[in-house]
Amino acid sequence: MGTRGKLGQLVRWIDALWRAVSSLREVALETIGLGSDVDHHTEVTFRAVTDAVLPETPALGSEIGDEHVPGGLAIALDEFVVTYVDDGFQLGLPHVGPHGNIQLADPIAHALDFAALALCDRSENESEPSPDRPVSLLDPGEASPEAVRDAAGTFSKLSSKDRLRAISILDEFELSVTPGVDDLFEFDAGLVGQLVVGFTEMIYYSEWQGYDEFTQPPSERVHPNDPAAVQSWRQTGFPGFADGYAALRGYIGTDDGTLGDGETWTTIDSDAASPVRITRQPGSFRENEYDTSDYTEPYPE
């Protein structure tokens, strides 16, 4: 607990310091015409996440096909993940964010930097952080390399594998978020891993890319449901959503039991006392007598 508490304090301190610094940086960026809705640091950090979790993989092209080359950045997955994380949770505090949603992308980006620093501190990173890495995540003309270097935190300067290693150690920390002036809440930083890995993967492999705009009201969303229209569907072979499939093979059962009935379609176990088969009709479960008196605990508490 002590270590955890100290780390929590440290995270809070870094967080507060970072906010002060980043707001100044934002003012500076605004003056040179680089300001945006999403903090540059957050933007660059989520690009680094997407690039590590779902990278462009040229080597897979020759191995399993060209459709497997593009990754998350090719379809602006990073931008949507930021939107999703910012809109995804709410504490219903009326003075916090749009619709009471608690904007988590920014503190998550800082938590990732904190984890990256901890990784380097333990000398568990395999290669040295480099400011060239975040620069390479932006297309030419998107922002000046200087501005990116200014905005980039340690996480985005790590190699892809080291970024994943940094995410792995987040479970050890508490993360605190200050959504409003008087509100403070802490949560296990493990949630960060769940959001930046689990949710990033779920969104990428889901139908998300096919929408014109997912943030529209549900009744106005349009989805082509065309397996060619979603990059990840092209990569997984998922054929899109269907109303049904003529895929029934039958019902499992035995001649001696109550399950399975009618003509046999195939045999599952011909060595059983009563062969187990897949038949045309379901039959029904048996309302059997039961005796639990010989129950033993495999692993007693």
Partner 1 sequence: MVAESYDAVVVGAGGDGPVAAWKLGEAGLSVLLLEAGPFYGNEQWPKPNEEPGGEASSSTADLSGDLLDEQFTTREFEMINKLLFGPADHERGFWFRKFPGDGAILQCAGVGGTTLHYTGCHPRAYPASIDEQGHWPIDYADLLPYYREVEELCEVTPAPITAKEELFFRGAARAGWEFIDDYNVTGPGYRPQPNAIRPPDAKLHVDAGHDGGFTYPEVRGDTLALGNIAGNPHPRGAPYEEKAKRASNVSFVPAALRTGNVTIRPNAFVTDVRTETALDDSPTATGVAFRDTWTGRTESVEAEVVILAAGAIETPRLWLNTDLPRNEWVGRGLTIHFGDNVMGLWDAADLEGILGKRTVDQHQGQDIAARFDYPGLGMLQTVGTGPGIGAILGFGASASGFAFQNDPDDAPWDTMGRLAGAELKRLLSDYRRMLQILVVSDDRPHKRNGVTVSEALPDEHGPIPLVNYEPSRGDRQRRDELAEIAAEILREAGAAHVHRSDSPPTALHVHSTMRMGKVVDETCEAYDVERLFVADHSALSNGVGGANPTNTGQALAARTADRILERYF
Q: Where in 185-244 is the site for partner 1 (CB under 8 A)? A: 185, 187-188, 190-191, 193-194, 197-208, 214, 217-219, 221, 223, 225, 232-233, 235-239, 241-244
Own/partner pairs for 183-191, CB < 8 Å, 24+ apart? Answer: 183/91, 183/93, 183/96, 185/91, 186/8, 189/11, 189/111, 189/115
- Nearer of residues 149 and 280 to partner 1, judged by Cβ: 280
The minimum distance between CB 289 and partner 1, in angstroms, equals 8
**In this structure, what token pair is assigned to residue 200?**
């990033």
Q: Does 37 bind partner 1 (CB under 8 A)?
A: no
Cβ(114)–Cβ(14) below 8 Å: yes
Nearer to partner 1, 154 or 235 (CB): 235
Q: What angle do CA 33, 36, 38 make, to 5 degrees?
A: 150
| Minimum distance, C-beta of residue 210 to partner 1, in the bound complex (Å) | 8
Cα–Cα distance measured from residue 247 to residue 66, given in angstroms and rounded to the nearest whole number = 31
Rounded distance between C-alpha atoms, residue 54 and residue 70, angstroms: 9
Among 52, 73, 135, 152, binds partner 1 (CB under 8 A): 52
What does the longest C-alpha to C-alpha distance in the chain come to? 82
Query: Which residues in 95-134 contact partner 1 (CB under 8 A)?
Result: 98-102
CA proximity to 208, closest of 230, 239, 236 = 230
Q: Indicate whether 284 belongs to the interface with partner 1 (CB under 8 A).
A: yes
Q: Taking the complex as a whole, how short is the minimal distance between the CB of residue 236 and partner 1, in angstroms?
A: 4
Minimum CB distance to partner 1, residue 117 (Å): 18
Q: What angle do CA 178, 181, 185 make, to 5 degrees?
A: 30
The site that binds partner 1 (CB under 8 A) totals a number of residues, namely 107
**Residue from 11, 29, 54, 77 that binds partner 1 (CB under 8 A)?**
54
Rg over CA atoms, the chain: 26
* CB closer to partner 1 out of 42 and 235: 235
Examine residue 143 and tell whether it contacts partner 1 (CB under 8 A). Answer: no
| CA nearest neighbour of 176 among 82, 100, 83, 107 | 107
Residue 264 in the binding site for partner 1 (CB under 8 A): no
> Rule CB under 8 A: is residue 297 a binding residue for partner 1?
yes
Interaction between residue 286 and partner 1 (CB under 8 A): yes
CA proximity to 184, closest of 4, 1, 11: 11
**Judged by CB, which is closer to partner 1: 141, or 300?**
300
- Closest CB to partner 1 among residues 42, 254: 254
CB 97, CB 179: distance < 8 Å? yes
Binding status of residue 18 toward partner 1 by CB under 8 A = no
Which of residues 38, 93, 117, 120 is near partner 1 by CB under 8 A? 93
